[in-house]
Structure 1
Amino acid sequence: MKFQWPRSLRTRLLVVYSIGMLTSALLVGLMAFFLAKPFNRYMLQYGAEHFAQGLAKRAQFAADGTPIGFDEEKIDKWLFHSFREDVFVRITAADGRVIFSPTSEEATALAPPGAAFDPHLKRFALQHDGVPMHAATTPIEHGGTTWYVQFAASDRLVLKLRQSFGTPGLHQGILATCLTFLAVFLIATHLTLQRMLHPLRAASIEAQNISPQTLDARLQARDLPEELTPLVEAFNRALDRLQAGFRTQQEFLANAAHELKTPLALIRAQIEMVHPTQRNPFLLQDVDQMARQVQQLLLLAEASEPRNYRMEEVSAQAALAEACDYMARVAERSGVHINYSTATDEPHTTPCWQADRGALFTLLKNLLENAIQHSPQGTTVTVQADPTGFSVKDQGPGVPPADLGKLFERFWRGPTRRDEGAGLGLSICQEIARAHQWQITARPCHPGLEIKVRCQPTDLPQEIRGNG
């Protein structure tokens, strides 16, 4: 089975570092296993020399310069008596005569088997009663005379002490050191990566908030690692190209719609100049339909440009009254009644929203117009508002569940739609909601359709949501 690397950069680094540390520990263990015997031999030789040098520093002399022993405040005499079979100490002259020995028995200078005393032999091995020992000789100067301190310890004593106390303590110390080092390393690496990746997470949030209405926003690369700076700069350049293309598209749409208004007006004037008996009765209707589509295209271009909005506090009561009064004549011609109301937790107050007054009027007008067109005669269109937003509900045939997701698509027209309109009304509503950072949703009511606009973002399950 192929190993799958985690997608998280932090996890990858931690995994690599952990594998590296475990591999290093394994290599150290293998080296310790294969080099244990040579290391022990070296430590026996080095230990004897080290102890001989320590004794030499604590040697004491008589008034005539003759060595008389060691500083008993630093070195207790009982050590040499208790381990007399495994520890030997001598102070000798240059000719090998023993000047001092801690034991009362007659002592001879230490030397390798079958060899004489050699003051220049720093380290050597010997045997005493068949017990292997390691010894060392260290010179010491005093009063112009050179003396030699000799120290020997049996291998069995040193190895036994090491096996009983040194090796377990060493293993525990190494284990504790490794665990401490690993914990400190992982914590330090985690905190370092967290600090290093924080600007990247902030840049990701900034990128998520970029929308067609905020294409002028750019990611900041000053706090990012140098390796990620080219990626952020490339992303910003892509945004520059996208913004230029989007602006060109919007300008073309607005210019085309604006330029078409004058020819349509001239065509309508020419048609009206023809005598009614000679006039095609459907020409004016077709021209009005085209003029309406052009006007909606112009509104769509304006609604897609965030610079056209000027936010202010708008009274819900005043906004609903203005839009409902404006659409009252259209509703009356269709035989539909409009009923609107506002609700608030505090009496004698009316809800308020932060919105562009003109865009809010267009949003309400389009929703009301859409509801009126789909309402049978004698029914009621209900508009309700509260501090969180408003809703428009009709009593028409509704929209099939399969078509709910298409409501906010441009130029989409349902099978039950009347001939008026170009399928841009709800698209314009969606663009206005986006510019206000609102949420626009639609859901069936049985009968009819309810469209809600949330001025405060909330989770709305079981609803079809426009990308507002």
Structure 2
Amino acid sequence: MSSFYGGGPNTIRTAPVTLLLGPAGHPGGVIRLRNGTVGLRFTILYAGVFLISGIGLLALTFLLAGGGRSTAPAGLRPPADGGTDAIYQQVRHLQEQLAEVNAQHSRQLLIGSLLALTVMAVVSVLAGRALARRVLRPLRVITAATRRISADNLDQRLGVSGPADEVKDLADTIDGLLERLEASFAAQRRFVANASHELRTPLATMRASVDVAVAKPGAAPQTLALGDRLRTQLDRVDQLLDGFLMLARAQHGTLAGAAEVDVARLVAQAVSDRGAGIAARRLSVTEDLRPGMLIRGDTALLARMVENVIDNAVAHNEEDGWIQVETFREDAEVRLVVQTGGHVLDQRDVDRLARPFERLGADRTGSENGSGLGLSIVAAIAAAHGGRLELLARPEGGLRVSIALPYVPVPAEVRP
């Protein structure tokens, strides 16, 4: 059975299957067994078994019917006297007629056998297909149920009932795997959330100690400089912990207080709040924000998602650069697209930016100042709302960030 599913040599030596499939490794075969689906393999093997049985039965019937051989009478000699010559001629004629009838019957039997064999071949394929579908139906049910389970609903189980056979063992194994995955995901989320919360207390104590040391009268210049450096590092750690909390919340999959949110308003607010940073880097911002781009979700998470995208465009940009922001509807989705100029980037490196702590290093200005969680948080929030994040390296240089989220139609009574 291992050769049936695996990549080893085919040890099932049936003439019809070999005839249908061709020799092992021979490219001229009609259908190669090891390259087809499991359903096709079962169909061919079942059809082969039925076809062998039919060929054997027809061959046995043909042999028992005489094998198509008609023998002329032998050993009959003409009589010595001429009185019985007429009787001899009559017997001879009857024997020839009988031989002709036997030959005709053999031809009819051969034609009938060929027709029956053709019908048997068609019936064998149909019966093999039906049996294959019947045998594989439990596997199709398991596959469909497994596909419906994602990281957000790992608490679901297949729960296959029935006799303790191979299919039941497979389903129970998958249920055990899902249980271990659920425990692992929950432990990871609890650790991130708890560690972030627990680290805030010592950080607050360190910040207070730095403030007290700097605020003392007559503090040495070295103390003031050290205090400024420590504040900067503490701000970075605090930003990192805040990113951890937001990432854990987005990946949890539960959206508390979901409401209808206009993406265009979130973008306009985020750009306005970062006006000082945009002016400091002398960036030109072009906005094409179409109103009514409604989505449904957690307002705080969606605002953080938009802020991270705008922050990424401002921080990882060149002096005197540009930013283009637009919102529009595409089919049943709302699109937020943010484009920036800059150096030509490698798409393989850009694809990694949605992972935590991934940066482009020296290829992007300001990469050393970020936490490496900005776009990973964006991807997690978009996924939690049924959307997706797409990153594209622009051929002429720079980055194109696109977020697609499910569109919520505006009710007719509130349309302008």
Same fold by TM-score greater than 0.5: yes
Q: Is the 8 A contact 1:303 1:428 kept in 2?
A: yes
1:14 aligns with 2:43: yes
**Residue identity (%):** 23
Q: 1:284 to 1:28 in 2, by over 3 A?
A: same
1:432 aligns with 2:381: yes
Match of 2:102 among 162, 171, 177: 162
1:265 aligns with 2:238: no
Look up the SS of the partner of 1:14 in the other structure: helix
In 2, distance between residues paired with 1:247 and 1:411?
21
- The corresponding residue for 1:451 is 401
- The corresponding residue for 1:47 is none
- The corresponding residue for 2:182 is 243
- The corresponding residue for 1:407 is 353
Q: Is the 8 A contact 1:397 1:448 kept in 2?
A: yes
Look up the SS of the partner of 2:128 in the other structure: helix
Q: Deviations over 1:361-409 (max 9, x none)?
A: 1111111111100223443322111123111122344534452222122
1:386 aligns with 2:328: yes
Matches within 5 A, 1:174-193: 174-193=113-132
**Structural RMSD (CA):** 3.4
In 1, distance between residues paired with 2:323 and 2:181?
41
- TM-superposed deviation, 1:333: 4.3
The runs of 5 or more residues in structure 2 that have no matched partner are 1-22, 26-31, 71-86, 408-416
Q: 1:155 to 1:410 in 2, by over 3 A?
A: same
In 1, distance between residues paired with 2:210 and 2:295?
45
Q: Is the 8 A contact 2:345 2:397 kept in 1?
A: no
In 1, distance between residues paired with 2:56 and 2:90?
35
Q: Is the 8 A contact 1:196 1:225 kept in 2?
A: no
In 2, distance between residues paired with 1:257 and 1:13?
54
Q: 1:190 to 1:154 in 2, by over 3 A?
A: same
Q: Deviations over 1:147-175 (max 9, x none)?
A: xxxxxx965544432322x3333333333
Q: 1:259 to 1:131 in 2, by over 3 A?
A: farther
In 2, distance between residues paired with 1:201 and 1:311?
35
- Give the letter for the 2:248 counterpart: A
In 1, distance between residues paired with 2:260 and 2:102?
84
**Bigger radius of gyration, 1 or 2?**
1
Look up the SS of the partner of 1:264 in the other structure: helix
- The corresponding residue for 1:212 is 151
- The corresponding residue for 2:112 is 173
In 1, distance between residues paired with 2:91 and 2:297?
98
Q: 1:309 to 1:209 in 2, by over 3 A?
A: farther
- Give the letter for the 1:236 counterpart: D
In 1, distance between residues paired with 2:230 and 2:169?
59
Look up the SS of the partner of 1:454 in the other structure: strand
- The corresponding residue for 2:341 is 395
Match of 2:239 among 285, 288, 292: 292
The runs of 5 or more residues in structure 1 that have no matched partner are 42-127, 134-152, 344-348, 458-468
Match of 2:268 among 306, 313, 321: 321
Q: Is the 8 A contact 1:408 1:426 kept in 2?
A: yes
1:372 aligns with 2:319: no
Q: 1:222 to 1:384 in 2, by over 3 A?
A: farther
Q: Is the 8 A contact 1:132 1:154 kept in 2?
A: yes
In 2, distance between residues paired with 1:225 and 1:437?
38
- Give the letter for the 1:382 counterpart: Q
In 1, distance between residues paired with 2:168 and 2:94?
67
Q: Is the 8 A contact 2:318 2:365 kept in 1?
A: no
In 1, distance between residues paired with 2:137 and 2:120?
25
Q: Is the 8 A contact 2:50 2:124 kept in 1?
A: no
In 2, distance between residues paired with 1:235 and 1:413?
36
Q: Is the 8 A contact 1:303 1:431 kept in 2?
A: yes
- Give the letter for the 1:249 counterpart: Q
In 2, distance between residues paired with 1:223 and 1:357?
46
1:442 aligns with 2:396: no
- Give the letter for the 2:306 counterpart: L
Look up the SS of the partner of 1:340 in the other structure: strand
Q: Deviations over 1:334-384 (max 9, x none)?
A: 4435443224xxxxx622223332221111111111110022344332211
Moved more, 424-433 or 222-231: 222-231
- TM-superposed deviation, 1:273: 0.7
Matches within 5 A, 1:90-101: none
Q: Deviations over 1:417-460 (max 9, x none)?
A: 42422111111111112222322111223342110112269xxx
TM-score calculated relative to the size of structure 1:
0.65
- The corresponding residue for 2:295 is 353
Moved more, 429-438 or 329-338: 329-338
In 2, distance between residues paired with 1:430 and 1:368?
14
Moved more, 435-444 or 16-25: 16-25
In 1, distance between residues paired with 2:270 and 2:378?
14
Look up the SS of the partner of 2:390 in the other structure: strand
Tell me how many residue pairs correspond in the alignment. Answer: 346
Look up the SS of the partner of 1:437 in the other structure: coil
TM-score calculated relative to the size of structure 2:
0.72
Q: 1:436 to 1:258 in 2, by over 3 A?
A: same
Look up the SS of the partner of 2:274 in the other structure: helix
| Structure richer in strand, relative to its length | 1
In 2, distance between residues paired with 1:442 and 1:180?
58
- The corresponding residue for 2:4 is none
Q: 1:199 to 1:386 in 2, by over 3 A?
A: farther
Q: Deviations over 1:184-211 (max 9, x none)?
A: 3422432453355455335424434533
Q: Is the 8 A contact 1:199 1:224 kept in 2?
A: no
